[in-house]
Amino acid sequence: LRDNRIELVRASWHELSISVSDVSLSDEGQYTCSLFTMPVKTSKAFLTVLGVPEKPQITGFTSPVMEGERMQLTCKTSGSKPAADIRWFKNDKEVKDVKYLKEEDANRKTFTVSSTLDFLADRNDDGAVVSCRVDHESLNSTPQIAMQVLEIHYTPLVKIISSNSWPEEGQSIILTCESKGKPVPEPVLWTKDGGELPDPERMVVNGRVLSISFLNKTDNGTYRCEAKNPIGRNSTEYVLIVHDVFNTLLPTTVIPSLTTATVTTTVALTTSTTTSATAISTR
């Protein structure tokens, strides 16, 4: 062996040891130790050199991505021997439905492996961390990881929240329009029955909040909140019904007072005298 990277470590009648520094793929092969006796005795060993995969890279992502568009992210690593294993994760949850490709490098000793993650962009994926993990026996159980944070743009999602579930005449109500989108939606637009708010003195808009004071039956109707951003617009409705004031009559309890009364009754008695006449006949 004639190589500056190979050094003699120990030499005795019982042992001959060498070290190889900066190991390369060309060092792979069969090594023979010979004992020059008569006859010569030899011992052989085959050295396998692992190809360490390069740090992976994720390609195919363009920011931002519109909701509903198809995304194809590809993770690739070269120089592994044997071929490395690639796994995909989204927010630490493994994604199984992926495509895997293995190709020989130009030296015909190592491999380039790639994997493609194909999915439709969804608003729930906004801010999600997609990671590509490369496992290989040369990495000593410490995988190489490449990460990509997703940015998804989507139309606003709108919801109206009411402060009063049973509004009555004379009361107030606050309607809050919650809108979530990316980019952040512009200030919302409030309308009533398809037109402008009819009573701006009682119907006050402050940002996303509509406050109506001193409710009456003319306030009945459909209130619409609309939000928009550069991607699109969305709206939702709230039907307001003002109820009559509900009066509750308290039951009346009559407590009789104790009264002692003396009643005098006068009865008029009439005495009748009856006279009986006896007729005597004289002959």
Q: Which two tokens stand for residue 19?
A: 């070290």
Report the pLDDT value the prediction gives residue 280, as an integer from 0 to 100: 35
- What pLDDT is attached to residue 251? 54
* pLDDT value at residue 261: 41
Average pLDDT for 66-73: 95
Q: Residue 272: which pLDDT band, with cuts at 50, 70 and 90? A: very low
The pLDDT score that the predictor gives to residue 140 is: 87
Three-state secondary structure of the chain: CCCCCEEEEEECCCCEEEEECCCCHHHCEEEEEEECCCCCEEEEEEECCCECCCCCEEECCCCCEECCCEEEEEEEEEEEECCCEEEEEECCEEECCCEEEEEECCCCCCEEEEEEEEEECCHHHCCCEEEEEEECHHHCCCCEEEEEECCEEEEEEEEEEECCCCCECCCCEEEEEEEEEECCCCCCEEEECCECCCCCCCEEEECCEEEECCCCHHHCEEEEEEEEECCEEEEEEEEECCECCCCCCCCCCCCCCCCCCCCCCCCCCCCCCCCCCCCCCCC
Q: Is the pLDDT of residue 206 over 90?
A: yes
Residue 120 — very low, low, confident or very high, per pLDDT cuts 50/70/90? Answer: very high
Domains and CATH numbers, the chain: 4-45 (no CATH), 55-149 (2.60.40.10), 154-238 (2.60.40.10)
Res 259 pLDDT > 60 = no
Give pLDDT, residue 35.
86
Strands 65-66 vs 152-162: parallel, antiparallel or unpaired: parallel
pLDDT confidence tier of residue 265, bands split at 50, 70 and 90: very low
**pLDDT for the residue 256:** 53
Q: 246 falls in which pLDDT band (50, 70, 90)?
A: confident
